[in-house]
Chains A and B, each alone.
Chain A
Amino acid sequence: MRIAFLFTLSLLFSISAISQSSKVEIIKSNHSFSLLKDGEPYYIKGAGAKDHFDLLESSGANSIRIWSTNNGHLLDSAYNHGMTVSLGLYVRPERSGMDYNDEYAVRGQIEQLKQEILKYKDHPALLVWGIGNEVDLRYSNFKVWDTIEELAKFIKEVDPNHPSMTVIAGLDPSKAYLIKERCPSVDILGLNAYGSIENASTYIRKYNWDKPYIVSEWGVNGPFEAPRTSWGAKVEPPGGIKAKTRMRRYKKIIEKDVDLCLGSYCFLWGQKQESTATWHGMFLSDGRPTEAVDFMSYCWKGSWPDSRAPSINSIELDETNWKKDHILNSNSEATLEIKYDEFNNTEVFIDYKLYPEAFTNKIGGDIQDSVSEIEFEITSNSKDGKIIFKTPSKPGAYRIFAIASNSNNQCSVANIAFIVE
């Protein structure tokens, strides 16, 4: 009875919203693909985002990607900002304990997600369905592709207005083959590519993928690709270097593949803990934007914002750069120095924070716990990016952060991992 009611409600919603719902199509011409939204070419200038929509819109983005239907209100928010949504259908990955040989779990997941499809299919912000995110990461049961296919097929039946995409963690010939063979209803390959984005456009062709793709997550090289110190801490480049990497990858790689690539979603228009609190996020945990926002604005609009964040290009500890190991004595003095571009700022404020190292075994986008800040003593501060500080008395692995910000609260961050013996 309740299902019937829900279905009727869904139908009513469909009818009332039909004039607002977009028609999104993929057009093929020879070996080239393009996306049309309501008959107009639509190149995705997107970000993985859950907030800061005002700034996203003013920076020139036109779409957001979300990973599940848990926060349906984000579609409304995006729509109110004139943006579309790549809407994720959360398909449980095997690494989370899902057993694709368990018919009960599989069927339950499919039927539940079908209800989500019916619920959101007519939302005017909907651009593309994202069926699953990185279900291929450390998986062994390829039956997960049957779930993806069943959902893609269902979308074709009930929502011919929106194409479907499945998102994989990096490109691989086995995945390209399996998706092609087992998921013929999937229209687009979503590619989460960090370091591997450098060769993605070549390898997607080498692996015989013959449909379009979206770079569904991209940015700087991920923690999983980063060099490590001798004690296992991941080495994170300063914010300025990361932002320039983003711009190069966008202009030289993503935009260049005009035949197969329908656009991209940079990661992450927000903040999250992934080995550090600043690795992928283009904002700090307190909501301040970093220079990565300015660089993406330049990528999307072709011009820099009037006010630009300062940008840290190097950080050194005891005159040794961020790429090297730093082994310090406890309760001793150490010198931290950053170099940064001021751009059009008359004043730059620099702040420093110390944290214990956040070692983690989590992979992919799995949720990681943050670490708590540690108090420490700065014995000398030159105010222009150089301090002398006292190392912790307790031996262990630490990470010190420098945050340069301007009067508009735009900022840049760099950090160095060190160990106290």
Chain B
Amino acid sequence: MRIISSTILFLTVLTSCNHLRDIELYQKQVQKVVPLESFVYKDIFTDSKKTKLWGAKTNSCKEVVFDTSNNFEGEDHLYVKWNKNDECKFIGIGFPWGNYKSKNLSPFINSAAIEMMIRIDEEEKTKLPMFFSLADYSGKMCVSKINYLDIEGGVIDNNWTKVRIPLQAFNYERKGVNMSNIKELRIEFQQSGSVHIDEMKIVPHEHNYNRTDTEFKTTYNSFPIHLGVGSQYWWGINSTYSSNFKFAPNSIEGHSESLIADVDLSEKNSWNNFGFAFDKWNQVDISKIYSTSALKFKIKSSSIPNLQIMIVSYKGDKRRVQRLIGESNYKEVQGGVYEVLIPIKSFDNYQLIDWGSLKEIRVTVKESSQFEIGEFQLVEFRGNPRSPKKWIGK
């Protein structure tokens, strides 16, 4: 009896197991989810009955009409004619679609676009002076415009044309817009023009373009920095028009180019300056080290030339600092060969230029002279703490 009961129980349990499914501790999503499909606020503008719109009031700069003729879809479509003049700083309309509800566009930000149908009455155009912005509930806005690549057929004319603006094309990251809390879409109209708009909605879209992070910048955090490397990055040396400056064939050893200067300022329009890029005309950042540095170079001459040195930056309100080289900057290292050291802090108003975007060094010869100059470097220099502007000569 016990054996029969055990057998029945075993069979019952075994049969029950057929109705059990495998289950994992953390259930995986089996079905692929397309987030846009579940997004309920896909329609931005359908017609005037179904869609809210602000900025529809006609004024001296714009005329906004719900045109009932030749609609693409629905009862009517939007017609805007504008002409920007001094009377209006902003010409625009807004679509607080979904009745001002907060819209979360983040889940499909890489796979969706705003699509609309557009036509114009005259001519054919490949662009329109219209800027589209998405505004979040904190008031931040990101902007985009109609890109030629997403105008179906490549031209806007009097036929309804499908255009798309990928959500990726809005500069939301740069503008800090919260794409999961979007309030409305705005269109700003610039210059003058007219356009018919219909059926504006969010649709799936494949956006196959990237953003690169190319920067034309060189950052230095240590010394020495060799400057003036590569004759193509120098200017002021052009034998077609002047023989005042010539490149020297390795007369002063080092990484930098060297110049032979023979400047006679008594001649009219005599060339008296030259310059070179800090680094291949990239923006050079020495902001972390400039305050403990000095510009160093060598001069070979029978007498010390009177030179002005200028450091030029790409950006900032003040873009150049300069100074004349004084005798204290020179140190004779060999018969007729001088080492010149100019502490960066000895340039007047040195704090005012942007040491994160340096462009070039310029040298101006202030008196007629002959010399050879080269081996430009930026070196570590801490100077004399009691008199930081003066080179202590050690």
Which residues on A are within 8 Å of B, measured CB to CB? 1-3, 6, 31, 70, 97, 99, 101-105, 107-109, 111-112, 115-116, 138, 140-143, 173-174, 176-178, 202, 205-208, 369-370, 372
- Considering only residues 319-360 of chain B, those with a C-beta below 8 Å from chain A are 357, 359-360
Given contacts A2-B153, A2-B155, contact A101 B211 (CB under 8 A): yes
What residues of A have a CB within 8 angstroms of the CB of B166 in the complex? 104
A6 to B314 Cα, complex, angstroms: 43
| Nearest 9 interchain pairs by C-beta | A2-B153, A112-B148, A104-B209, A108-B147, A173-B235, A174-B281, A103-B209, A108-B149, A108-B148
- CB pair A107–B209 under 8 Å, yes or no, is yes
List 5 additional contacts besides A97-B143, A108-B149, A206-B238; criterion CB under 8 Å: A101-B211, A104-B168, A173-B277, A177-B232, A206-B271
Segment of B42-50, B92-100, B212-220 in the binding face: B212-220
What residues of A have a CB within 8 angstroms of the CB of B274 in the complex? 206
- CB pair B149–A107 under 8 Å, yes or no, is yes
Choice from B169, B216, B240 contacting A141 with Cβ under 8 Å = B216
- CB pair A103–B212 under 8 Å, yes or no, is yes
What residues of A have a CB within 8 angstroms of the CB of B315 in the complex? 138, 140
- Which single residue of chain B is at the shortest CB-CB distance from A103? B209
- CB pair A99–B211 under 8 Å, yes or no, is yes
B171, CB-defined interface residue at 8 Å: yes
Given contacts A70-B191, A105-B147, A115-B126, contact A174 B360 (CB under 8 A): yes
Count of B interface residues, CB-CB < 8 Å: 48
- Closest Cβ of chain B to A100, distance in Å, is 8
- CB pair B148–A143 under 8 Å, yes or no, is no
Given contacts A141-B216, A173-B275, contact A6 B155 (CB under 8 A): yes
- Closest Cβ of chain A to B129, distance in Å, is 8
- Closest Cβ of chain B to A287, distance in Å, is 16
B86, CB-defined interface residue at 8 Å: yes
Choice from B191, B240, B271, B359 contacting A174 with Cβ under 8 Å = B359
Main secondary structure of the interface of A (DSSP, over half): helix
A97 to B141 Cα, complex, angstroms: 13
What residues of A have a CB within 8 angstroms of the CB of B216 in the complex? 140-142
- CB pair B191–A103 under 8 Å, yes or no, is no
A138 to B273 Cα, complex, angstroms: 25
- CB pair B241–A205 under 8 Å, yes or no, is yes
B101, CB-defined interface residue at 8 Å: no
- CB pair B277–A369 under 8 Å, yes or no, is no
Choice from A3, A108, A112, A205 contacting B238 with Cβ under 8 Å = A205
- Considering only residues 137-186 of chain B, those with a C-beta below 8 Å from chain A are 143, 147-150, 153-155, 166, 168-169, 171, 174
- CB pair A112–B360 under 8 Å, yes or no, is no
- Which single residue of chain B is at the shortest CB-CB distance from A139? B314
A142 to B218 Cα, complex, angstroms: 14
Which of B147, B232, B269, B274 is the most central at the interface, judged by chain A CB atoms within 10 Å of its CB?
Answer: B147
A370 to B89 Cα, complex, angstroms: 11
A70 to B125 Cα, complex, angstroms: 9
A288 to B238 Cα, complex, angstroms: 47
What residues of A have a CB within 8 angstroms of the CB of B240 in the complex? 31, 205
- Which single residue of chain A is at the shortest CB-CB distance from B271? A206
Given contacts A104-B207, A206-B235, A369-B89, contact A112 B171 (CB under 8 A): no
- CB pair B359–A109 under 8 Å, yes or no, is no
Given contacts A101-B211, A104-B147, A208-B235, contact A202 B269 (CB under 8 A): yes
- Closest Cβ of chain B to A70, distance in Å, is 7
- Which single residue of chain A is at the shortest CB-CB distance from B275? A173
27 contacting pairs across A/B (C-beta < 8 A): A6-B154, A97-B143, A101-B212, A101-B214, A102-B169, A103-B210, A103-B211, A103-B212, A104-B166, A104-B168, A104-B207, A111-B148, A111-B149, A111-B154, A112-B148, A115-B126, A115-B148, A116-B126, A140-B216, A140-B283, A140-B357, A142-B216, A176-B235, A177-B233, A205-B241, A208-B238, A372-B86
What residues of A have a CB within 8 angstroms of the CB of B277 in the complex? 173-174, 177
Which of B166, B174, B214, B357 is the most central at the interface, judged by chain A CB atoms within 10 Å of its CB?
Answer: B214
- Closest Cβ of chain B to A191, distance in Å, is 16
- Which single residue of chain A is at the shortest CB-CB distance from B127? A112
A178 to B273 Cα, complex, angstroms: 21
Which of A112, A176, A372 is the most central at the interface, judged by chain B CB atoms within 10 Å of its CB?
Answer: A112
B236, CB-defined interface residue at 8 Å: yes
What residues of A have a CB within 8 angstroms of the CB of B171 in the complex? 97, 99
- CB pair A112–B126 under 8 Å, yes or no, is yes
- Closest Cβ of chain B to A5, distance in Å, is 9
